[in-house]
Amino acid sequence: MERLFEPLAIGPVTIKNRIFSSGHDTVMAEDGLVTDQLVEYHRARAEGGAGLIVMQVSGVHESARYTSHVLMATEDSSIPGYAKVAAAVHPSGCKIFGQLFHPGREVMESQDGSMPVTWSASSVPNERFKVMPRELDERTIAEIVVGYAAAALRLQAGGLDGVEVVASHGYLPAQFLNSSVNRRSDSYGGDLGNRLRFLREILEAVRAAVGPTMAVGIRISGDELDPSGLVEDDALAACAELDRLGLLDYVSVTVGTSASLSGSDHIVPPMSYAVGYTASYAARVKKVVKVPVLVAGRINQPQDAARIIEQGSADACAMTRALICDPEMPAKAMEGRAEEIRACIACNQACIGHFHAGYPISCIQHPETGRELLYGRIRRATVSRNVVVIGGGPAGLKAAAVAAERGHSVTLFEARSRLGGQVRLASALPEREEFGGAIDNLYGEASRAGARFELGHAATADEVRRMAPAAVVVATGAKPRRPELETMGTPSISDAWAVISAGGRLKPQGRTVVADWRSDWVGIGVARMLAANGHSVVIAVGGYAPGESLQQYVRDSLVRSLYRERIEIMPLVRIVGADEDSVYLQHVLTGEPVIVEQAYNLVLAQGSLPEDELLRELAGDENLSVTGIGDCLAPRTVEEAVLEGLRAAWTI
Ligand code: ADP
């Protein structure tokens, strides 16, 4: 891994190693300004050893507000916030760049419920957000170019080391570059030289404004990987020309576009994409430019980053989610503690998932992220106490890890012979294998902190009382919910969990209905397992689409597989009953019956019920201090389980 820890000169700036955090919106800005939480978020990554942090996008013009919580650089009042971030990261030897941003037509959200006028190179609609932009006139183009330079000056005044013009993912400069979006006949449209004019003018203006001491680069999609996206040849030609003109200190390569469903999952690729799959795009950019090339794309472990650099595909690697998940990852890698790294599993749930939902980003494995002001530094307990944790799913494991890290003496009981609870089921599903990494990571944390494990030991209320611990954390999880059904004869009805545990094998062979209430990974996963085992599968969902409750990129990746595997999707139905050769459903809007004939199996993915008997028994005991966490309180997801584990352990 030595190459990973060699310094790299990026124009006038030298970064101490090749690990960086690429620009990602945190939803931690307020009123367009940096907050204390945002400062602490970046401080943690800098202290953890990252060589470079590229801050989230900063809007350069009023029309750049693509969400209601975007960070802005249009007023001098933004400068003190940038200065605080720079002051927080610099003492660790970490450099910090800002992203200069205009989304053009990629406006995701309104500011007040009403949609603003959006701008682009031409009036070509956005497929994903259903935006019809207005063609930019030359006066407004000039105003926006000035905005880029003025924003760069504010970031410089804040003490940032570099600026990056965001020309990736189909944002405004890419809209000009892309002949499918730029239909202009003036000097900004037509051949590539003209389509590049907007980005060239921005870079010239920024360069002239900030002078030679600040690094100036671009982020670009090596290919937008979309039928209407910027094609690789044009992206390469643009990089080559800007490099030839001496306008760049670096190129940061990614792939995909915000403009479509299929293009956008590359923005934060879910676990179905191979680690480092974008490296070949960076390698081709590297062939046409002289300046350093950075790359992002599901690089979650230092050894993978090291390999990409050694192969010469890129000079530095964005390990953005890896740092969201484990801010100390670079330090651990450098100190030979790589096995202690909490590797990102690319579940997307609390990072980009929170961003899309409008909440500050976090991590399901490490809920301290995004909550650094509260949980940023472990608070040692004043007295070491005996703590009993019951249940070895994600909730119990996190409680055990944090309680032990705080100095308590922790014993965790798990009824089964294996830790992991429902996460083990998730990781048995197609495209979800990596999910199990969350349990390996949590187990590692808890055992390194000194927690003891009693596996194959179902704890009872009596024995807990006999142990008389100072605190009991109950994390007994959930069991499958089976709704009341109307049945005739002896239909084949199974729970999704049982089918997953059986590897997707189910008798009789034939047409099978998966009744999916929660529209999460369970219904889709079991449907795909059954299809892979030769069943003809119908997935009947209560909402408009399977996977509705999952983060968009995860959902789309899984739903794409459903279509490719010819699994029939039946939206807007609830399960009513079954007989030996039919499944009976009801339309959720009309109430009309919907019958699937010649269906010989019904598989229920109807969520779960809390496994809360032990909690009820113990909670009534005045001599015990008992806290219930996770699914045994109310079945939700790993995110809430781990967060509640943290909170419970924090208060012991
Ligand atoms: P959560 O997501 O809240 O952590 P899970 O359902 O994933 O919940 O995990 C709960 C774990 O608790 C399961 O592994 C289950 O075997 C275990 N468990 C349930 N009851 C007991 C008990 N009485 N003693 C020990 N372990 C238990």
DSSP 532-566: HTT-EEEEEESSSSTTTTS-HHHHHHHHHHHHHTT
Instruction: State how far the Cα of 630 lies from the Cα of 475, in Å rounded to an integer.
Output: 6
Q: Which of 565, 547, 561, 567 is nearest to 262 (CA)?
A: 561
Query: What confidence score (pLDDT) does residue 642 get?
Result: 98
Q: Is the CB of 612 under 6 A from ligand 1?
A: no
Query: Residue 407 has which token pair?
Result: 């100095």
Give the type of residue at 423. V
Instruction: State how far the Cα of 191 lies from the Cα of 185, in Å rounded to an integer.
Output: 10
Please say whether the beta carbons of 199 and 230 come within 8 A. Answer: no
Q: In 3-state terms, what secondary structure has residue 356? A: helix
The secondary element (H helix, E strand) that includes residue 134 is: strand 134-135
Place of tokens 């590049």: 196
* CA distances (Å), origin 640, targets 296, 362, 464, 631: 28, 11, 25, 8
Q: How far is the CA of 343 from the centre of ligand 1 (A)?
A: 23
The residues pairing with 441 across neighbouring beta strands, listed in sequence order, are none
Mutation test of ligand 1: which of 397, 414, 614 has the most ligand atoms closer than 8 Å to its C-beta? Answer: 414
Does this model's pTM top 0.85? My answer is yes
Please say whether the beta carbons of 300 and 348 come within 8 A. Answer: no
Place of tokens 């059954």: 530
Instruction: State how far the Cα of 173 lies from the Cα of 102, in Å rounded to an integer.
Output: 8
The secondary element (H helix, E strand) that includes residue 138 is: helix 138-157
Instruction: State how far the Cα of 528 lies from the Cα of 526, in Å rounded to an integer.
Output: 5
What phi and psi, each to the nearest 5 degrees, are found at residue 72? Answer: -120, 155
Q: Which CATH superfamily is domain 2-374 in?
A: Aldolase class I (3.20.20.70)
What dihedral do alpha carbons 554, 547, 324, 83 form, nearest 10°?
100
Q: How many CB atoms lie within 10 A of CB 75?
A: 12
Q: Which of 639, 649, 196, 645 is nearest to 403 (CA)?
A: 649
Please say whether the beta carbons of 61 and 105 come within 8 A. Answer: no
Q: Which ligand 1 atom is at minimum distance from the Cα of 422?
A: 7
Query: Residue 581 has which token pair?
Result: 């050769």
Please say whether the beta carbons of 606 and 515 come within 8 A. Answer: yes
- Chain mean position to CA 564: 24
Instruction: State how far the Cα of 562 lies from the Cα of 585, in Å rounded to an integer.
Output: 21
Q: Which of 25, 49, 19 is nearest to 38 (CA)?
A: 25
Q: Which ligand 1 atom is at minimum distance from the Cα of 416?
A: 16
Q: Is the CB of 614 under 6 A from ligand 1?
A: yes
Q: Which ligand 1 atom is at minimum distance from the Cα of 614?
A: 23
Query: What confidence score (pLDDT) does residue 446 get?
Result: 98
- As a CATH number, domain 482-606 is 3.50.50.60
Q: Is the CB of 610 under 6 A from ligand 1?
A: no
Instruction: State how far the Cα of 114 lies from the Cα of 65, in Å rounded to an integer.
Output: 13
- CA angle centred on 539, ends 535 and 545, rounded to 5°: 150
Query: What confidence score (pLDDT) does residue 431 get?
Result: 83
Please say whether the beta carbons of 564 and 545 come within 8 A. Answer: no
**What CATH class is the domain 383-479+610-650?**
alpha beta
Q: Quote the radius of gyration of the chain (alpha carbons, Å).
A: 26
What dihedral do alpha carbons 616, 622, 626, 632 form, nearest 10°?
10
Instruction: State how far the Cα of 204 lies from the Cα of 193, in Å rounded to an integer.
Output: 15
Query: Residues 296-332, buried b or exposed e (16+ Cβ, 10 A)?
Result: bbbbbbbebbbbbbeeebbbbbbbbbbbbbbbbbbbb
Mutation test of ligand 1: which of 476, 481, 611 has the most ligand atoms closer than 8 Å to its C-beta? Answer: 476
Query: What confidence score (pLDDT) does residue 594 get?
Result: 98
β 52-59/71-72 pair status:
parallel
Q: Is the CB of 639 under 6 A from ligand 1?
A: no
The predicted-structure confidence for 448-477, as pLDDT tens digits, reads as follows 999 999 999 999 999 999 999 999 999 999
- Chain mean position to CA 561: 20
Instruction: State how far the Cα of 463 lies from the Cα of 70, in Å rounded to an integer.
Output: 53
pLDDT < 50 regions, the chain: none
Q: How far is the CA of 492 from the centre of ligand 1 (A)?
A: 28
Q: Whose CA is nearest to atom 8 of ligand 1?
A: 477
Ranges of each domain in the chain: 2-374, 383-479+610-650, 482-606
Please say whether the beta carbons of 226 and 515 come within 8 A. Answer: no
The residues pairing with 51 across neighbouring beta strands, listed in sequence order, are none
Q: How far is the CA of 389 from the centre of ligand 1 (A)?
A: 10
Q: Which ligand 1 atom is at minimum distance from the Cα of 460?
A: 23
Q: How far is the CA of 400 from the centre of ligand 1 (A)?
A: 13
Q: Is the CB of 422 under 6 A from ligand 1?
A: yes
Place of tokens 């089964």: 416
Q: Which ligand 1 atom is at minimum distance from the Cα of 395?
A: 4
Query: What confidence score (pLDDT) does residue 1 get?
Result: 85
Query: What confidence score (pLDDT) does residue 430 get?
Result: 87
Quote the DSSP letter at residue 230: P
Query: What confidence score (pLDDT) does residue 167 get?
Result: 98
Q: Which of 63, 172, 167, 169 is nearest to 121 (CA)?
A: 172
Give the type of residue at 539. I
Instruction: State how far the Cα of 516 lies from the Cα of 558, in Å rounded to an integer.
Output: 14
Query: What confidence score (pLDDT) does residue 432 get?
Result: 86
Alpha helix locations (H) across 376-475? 394-405, 422-426, 437-448, 461-467
Q: Is the CB of 367 under 6 A from ligand 1?
A: no
Q: In 3-state terms, what secondary structure has residue 177? A: helix
Instruction: State how far the Cα of 81 lies from the Cα of 88, in Å rounded to an integer.
Output: 11
Q: Whose CA is nearest to atom 14 of ligand 1?
A: 421
- CA angle centred on 144, ends 143 and 148, rounded to 5°: 120
Q: How far apart, in Å, do the first and last CA atoms of the chain sit? A: 40
What dihedral do alpha carbons 359, 364, 365, 368 form, nearest 10°?
30
Query: What confidence score (pLDDT) does residue 66 get?
Result: 96
